[in-house]
Structure 1
């Protein structure tokens, strides 16, 4: 019995060591590293460009779902790319991938359902200066 308890304790300690980096990994640090200020989104389909005031980088995650009532799940949290899936109760869901080229240039791909209608877009976002 003592060997079983020792094995269980060793396995539990091993899992804690393995799980700790996974929890720390979901920090979305890449988004925090983007230059703060005014950004312009240019949609690949030719839609009208949109201005965004970037305070944390997370503003790019839910471009079609404003508000904070959404639950997020981090699918990928890399140094150059993040992918987040989110659900907004009563208002749809989305999945957004953001790829960092530089601190002032990112590529964004997003798709989902907003206001009962599907959406999908690709855009390039570039820092333009300070927020207006």
Structure 2
């Protein structure tokens, strides 16, 4: 019985050592697609009513919380692909949202966001396009 335990312990240690020496593929930074967007002034045009608003994009992450502009919201990355990201977020005391951003080019994205803001549901679908400098 002791020999079996020692054998299993040795095998486990050998496996752990082999895994530690195996090179790990480098992972891209989280939400890297947003980092590839052009910095500057972006115009978001909503499909529902044609209204337009401007957003100064510094990191691309400004497009995640279109209806919840306050800082300090908790975020959870649901999907992180090279040309599309989905992020779910919660803003304590003010609601939550789930936003999908699909990149069509460095200066053009499609945005879809749904959630609750101030106790009321919202749904936003539109196109954001870089229009100049901030």
Structures share fold, TM-score greater than 0.5: yes
1:56 partner SS = coil
Q: Paired residue for 2:121?
A: 118
Report the TM-score, using the length of structure 2 for normalisation.
0.84
Runs of 5+ consecutive residues of structure 1 not aligned to the other structure: none
Report the TM-score, using the length of structure 1 for normalisation.
0.85
**How many pairs were matched up?**
128
- Contact 1:37–1:129 (CA under 8 A) maintained in structure 2: yes
CA RMSD of aligned residues (A): 2.4
State how far apart, in whole Å, the 2-side matches of 1:25 and 1:86 are: 21
1:40 counterpart = 2:43: yes
Q: Paired residue for 2:59?
A: 56
User: Who wins on radius of gyration, i.e. which is larger?
Assistant: 2
State how far apart, in whole Å, the 2-side matches of 1:13 and 1:43 are: 53
Runs of 5+ consecutive residues of structure 2 not aligned to the other structure: none
State how far apart, in whole Å, the 2-side matches of 1:100 and 1:80 are: 5
1:4 partner SS = helix
- Contact 1:26–1:74 (CA under 8 A) maintained in structure 2: no
